[in-house]
Chain A
Amino acid sequence: MKRLIVFSFVVVPAALLLLSWYRSTLSLELAILSSQVYAGLGFYLYLNSRSKQRYQELSKVLNQAAQGELHHRVTHIKGYGATSNVAWAINELLDFVETYFKEVKLCFQRVNKQDFSREAKTTGLPGDFSESLKSINIAIQAIKENAVFTERNDLTSQIHELNLQYLRRDLQQSESDVQSIQLDIADVDLIAKENNIIAQESSQSINKMSDNLHQSTENIAQLQQQAEALSKASGAVSKALKLITDIADQTNLLALNASVEAARAGETGRGFAVVADEVKNLSNRTKNTATEVHDVLNSLNAQVEIIKTATQTSNTLSLQVTQQLDSFLQLFSSLENSALATSTKVATVAEHASSAVSRIAQVIYKQNLYALLEEEITHRSDDYFDQECTPLEHLREKTRHTAPSCQKMFDLVERYCNREEDADSLIKQLKQIEAD
C-alpha cells in the first residue's frame, strides 16, 4: 500500500519531470499537474500527522485512566472524523466509571460519619454499574441497622452496667444493714432473757413477802384474841377486888364494933381493943391495896384497849397490802410471760434475719459472678492461648462460704473461661442453676 503511494505520488511525477527536463520541454500543464500532485502529497502527510496526534490523545486519556486519574476526557472530538465514535465511547466509559466511583466514595464518606442518608444514585447508569450500586445501597442499609443495633446494645449495656454496679452497692449496704439488725436482735434477745429472769426473781420475792405478810396477819389476829382474853380476865379481877373491898369494909365495921364492946368491957377488954385496932388497920390496908390494884387494873385495861385498836388497824392494813401484793404477783407473772414471748419472737426474727443475710450474700455473689462473666464475654480475646481469667480468682475464696448453687455457678463460669463450655451450654446451665 505504502509502496504504491510512494510509487504513484513520488516516483511517477519525478520521472515525468526528469523526462520533460531531459527533453527540455517542461510544459505549463505538466508543471501544474506535478505541483498539484506534490500539494496532495503534502496534505496527505499533514493528515497523517493529525491522525497520529489524535491517536496519541486517545491513548493518553486511556493511560491516565489506567493510572487511576478518571477525570480526563477527550475533547474537541469534531476533528476526529471517523474515530470520533471511539473517542465518545472512551468518554462514556470514563463517565460511567467516574460517576460510579464518585457515588461509592461519597456514600462511604458519609457512612464513615455515621450518616446513612446518602444513597448511591443508580439512575442513568447501565448494567453492572447500576447493579453494583444497588448492592452497595443494601450493604449501607445493613451497616446502618448494625450501627443502630450496636448503639442500642451499647446503651442498654451501659444502663445494665450502671444498674448492676448500684445493685451490688445497694445489696452490700442491705447486707450490712441486716447484719447490724442481727446484732441488735441478739441484744434484744439478751435483754428479754434478763427481763424474764428478773421477773421470775421478783415474783419469788413477792411470794416470800406475801407469805411473811400472811404470817404477820395471823400473829396480829392472835394478839387480838389474847388482848380480848386479857380484857375479860381484867373484868374478873375487878369483881374480885370489889369483893375484897366489901370484905375489908365489913371487917372495918366489925373492928369498930369490937372496939366499942372492948371499951364497954373496960380493962378486961383492953387487950381486945388492941386486937380490934389491929383488925381495923388490917382492913384499911386491905382496902387501900385493893384500890391500888384497881387503879393498876384500870391502867392495864386502857393499855389493852390501845393494843386492840392498834391490832385492828394493823389487820386492815395488812389485808390491803396482801391484796396489793397479789395483784403485783399477777403483774410479774404476766411480765415473765411476755418476756418469754419476746424471747421466742426474737429467736424467730433472728432466724429470718440470718436467712436474709445469707440470701443477700448469695445474690451479691451471683451478681459479681454475672458481672465477671459479662466482662469475660465483652473482652474475650479470639486468641485461643490468651485464656487468662484472673478476676475469677478473687471469687474463688468466697465460693467456699456460699450456697451450693453459687458453687455450681462458679464452676460453670470457670469452665466457660477455660473454654470447656460453649455459649449455648453456658446459658442452658445458668438457666438450670437459677431455676433450681
Chain B
Amino acid sequence: MLASKILHDDEVFLGSDELIISKTDLQGRITYANRTFIRLAGYDEEALLDKPHNMIRHPDMPKGVFKFLWQELQQGHEFFGFIKNATIGQGFYWVFANITPDFDSKGRVQGYFSVRRSPSAEAIKVIEPIYKNMIEIERRHSKPDAPHHSFSYLNQVLDSKRVSYERFVMQLQAL
C-alpha cells in the first residue's frame, strides 16, 4: 500500500507540547500507538497494530540510519535521531525520535519503546542534506551493502566535526 502511494511535500507538524509514542515487539511489529501517532500518520489504530513499524518509513530516509538504530538497540543502548515519516495521505512529518529497549520484570528485552518529540527546525536544515547524500550513496551500491556505505559516510561527517553521533544530534536538537 505504502509503495504505491505517491508522496508529496505536504508536511504536517508534531506540536512541541505533543509526543508520538509507540511500542513494538522484538521483530518491530507495532503493539501500541498513541492518539497523536494515529492522528498524524492518518491510519486508524487497527491498521497500525501488528504491522511492521517501517510501514510509516519515508523513502527519503537512508537505510544506514536504521542500520545504526538496530545496532544500538541490540547492544542495549538507546537511540536518538531525526526521522522523516510518511503519512497515509501524501504528506510527511519530521520527528526527533528516542527509541529504547523495553525490559520486562525479569530484565529481558521484550520490545521497544519509541518517543518522538518535535524536532528543532534548524536541526532538520542540517540533517536533510546529510541524509540526501546518504541516499545518493545507497543508490550507487547493491542493496545489501548500501546501508553500510551510507553509514560510513555519516561517520566520516561526524569524524570531520570531531563529535560522536549522539552528541551531534543532541547539539542539533538544542539549536
List B residues 32-61 near A (Cβ within 8 Å): 32, 34-35, 44-46, 49
Residues of B within 8 A of A125 (CB): 19
Q: A123: nearest residue on chain B (CB-CB)? A: B117
Do residues B35 and A117 form an inter-chain contact, with CB atoms below 8 A?
no
Of A73, A78, A117, the residue contacting B44 (CB under 8 A) is A78
Q: A-B pairs with CB below 8 Å: how many? A: 60
Do residues B46 and A78 form an inter-chain contact, with CB atoms below 8 A?
yes
Do residues B167 and A76 form an inter-chain contact, with CB atoms below 8 A?
no
Of B17, B46, B98, B100, the residue contacting A126 (CB under 8 A) is B17
| B contact face: mostly helix, strand, loop, or mixed | mixed
Residues of A within 8 A of B115 (CB): 99, 102, 121, 124
Do residues A77 and B45 form an inter-chain contact, with CB atoms below 8 A?
yes
Per the bound structure, the CA–CA distance linking A118 and B110 in Å amounts to 24
Tally of contact residues, B, Cβ under 8 A: 29
Do residues A124 and B19 form an inter-chain contact, with CB atoms below 8 A?
yes
Do residues B166 and A102 form an inter-chain contact, with CB atoms below 8 A?
no
Q: Decide if B84 is an interface residue (CB 8 Å cutoff).
A: no
Do residues B49 and A75 form an inter-chain contact, with CB atoms below 8 A?
yes
Q: Decide if B83 is an interface residue (CB 8 Å cutoff).
A: no
30 contacts between A and B (CB under 8 A): A68-B105, A71-B110, A71-B113, A73-B23, A73-B31, A73-B32, A75-B45, A75-B49, A76-B45, A77-B45, A78-B45, A91-B32, A91-B34, A92-B34, A92-B35, A95-B19, A96-B19, A99-B21, A99-B115, A102-B100, A102-B113, A106-B100, A117-B170, A121-B98, A121-B117, A123-B16, A123-B96, A124-B16, A124-B18, A124-B115
B residues in contact (CB < 8 Å) with A: 16-19, 21, 23, 31-32, 34-35, 44-46, 49, 78, 96, 98, 100, 102, 105, 110-111, 113, 115, 117-118, 166-167, 170
Residues of A within 8 A of B105 (CB): 68-69
Q: A105: nearest residue on chain B (CB-CB)? A: B100
Residues of A within 8 A of B16 (CB): 123-124
Q: A67: nearest residue on chain B (CB-CB)? A: B105
Per the bound structure, the CA–CA distance linking A71 and B78 in Å amounts to 16
Do residues B35 and A99 form an inter-chain contact, with CB atoms below 8 A?
no
Do residues B166 and A124 form an inter-chain contact, with CB atoms below 8 A?
no
Chain A nearest CB from B140 CB (Å) reads 35
Residues of A within 8 A of B49 (CB): 75-76
Residues of A within 8 A of B18 (CB): 124
Q: Decide if A7 is an interface residue (CB 8 Å cutoff).
A: no
Q: Decide if A88 is an interface residue (CB 8 Å cutoff).
A: yes
Do residues A98 and B113 form an inter-chain contact, with CB atoms below 8 A?
yes
Q: A117: nearest residue on chain B (CB-CB)? A: B167
List A residues 57-99 near B (Cβ within 8 Å): 68-69, 71, 73, 75-78, 88, 91-92, 95-96, 98-99
Which of A78, A88, A99 has the most C-beta atoms of chain B within 10 angstroms of its own C-beta? A99
Per the bound structure, the CA–CA distance linking A92 and B36 in Å amounts to 10
A124-B44 in contact given A73-B23, A102-B100 (Cβ < 8 Å): no
Per the bound structure, the CA–CA distance linking A364 and B31 in Å amounts to 74
Per the bound structure, the CA–CA distance linking A119 and B167 in Å amounts to 11
